[in-house]
Amino acid sequence: MRKLTYKQRLFIDAYLGEANGNASEAARCAGYANPGQLGYQLLQKTSIRTAVECKLKTVAMSSDEILARVAEIATADIGEFLDIKEDGTYRLRLSRRKRTRLIRKLKVTRTVSEDTETETTDLEVRDPFPALVKLGDYHGLWDKDPKPPLELKEFSRKLKERLAKRKNAGNG
């Protein structure tokens, strides 16, 4: 494979970064004279396409990792970040966990008056509902047809069949 020029490397970085996949904008950021035409042409080069794909593989999450992250958000519990004592007081505990990405908001406010100092903590974990919906979509939970309700006559018939089988099994 041909070695990329400095401008081509700039193009790739811009294409995957600030240009958000816009080849013309990436060519402009890289300093090409005719970015509208050259952006498209650069992406047609095998060496550049290969470099873009390789870079994407190193920075992109796998589908398994994405699914794991969504599951992690779906199971988020504020209790993971608090030590709650019997008297109802608590202590914020962030250092023991590596799941701090689950925290949506953390705000600590200290109020000092003449003789007291109080600290208020506002902690909010990410809302698990959207993650649960995404997991339900992934597992096809919402596409299933509901089971038809069991009619009373059908229920009665099945119950009689079961009782008859038990009676026969006991006599055999």
In terms of residue numbers, what domain contains 109? 77-125
Q: What was the pLDDT predicted at 1? A: 56
CB 118 within 8 A of CB 109: no
Helix (H/G/I), strand (E/B), else coil: 31: coil
Identify the pLDDT of residue 172. Answer: 56
Q: Which of 110, 125, 140 represents a domain boundary (last residue)?
A: 125
DSSP string, 34-69: SHHHHHHHHHHSHHHHHHHHHHHHHHSPPHHHHHHH
Do 11 and 50 belong together in one domain? yes
For the entire predicted model, the pTM comes to 0.47
> Does residue 165 fall inside a structural domain?
no
Residue 97 is predicted with a pLDDT of: 57
Residue 124: strand, helix, or coil: strand
Q: How many domains does the chain have?
A: 2
**Rounded distance between C-alpha atoms, residue 126 and residue 76, angstroms:** 7
Residues pairing with 110 in the sheet? 119
* pLDDT confidence of residue 26: 95
**Residues 55 and 10 both lie in one domain:** yes
The answer to whether residue 161 is domain-embedded is no
pLDDT at residue 27 in the model: 95
CB of 21 closer than 8 Å to CB of 15: yes
Q: For residues 120 and 108, is the Cβ–Cβ distance under 8 A?
A: yes
User: What pLDDT is attached to residue 118?
Assistant: 87
DSSP code at position 100: G
- pLDDT for the residue numbered 9: 94
Kindly list the averaged pLDDT for each block of 10 residues, start to end, along the chain of length 172.
88 92 94 93 94 85 84 87 85 73 88 88 88 88 77 86 86 63
Considering the domain boundaries, does residue 167 fall inside one? Answer: no
Roughly how many angstroms between the first and final C-alpha of the chain, as a whole number? 80
CATH number, residue 31: 1.10.10.1400
Q: Tell me the C-alpha distance between 65 and 86, whole Å.
A: 37
Rounded CA-CA distance 150/108 in Å is: 55
Half-sphere exposure of 153 (CA within 13 A, CB side): 0
Backbone angles phi, psi at 127, to 5 degrees: -70, 120
Query: Which pLDDT value is given to residue 25?
Result: 95
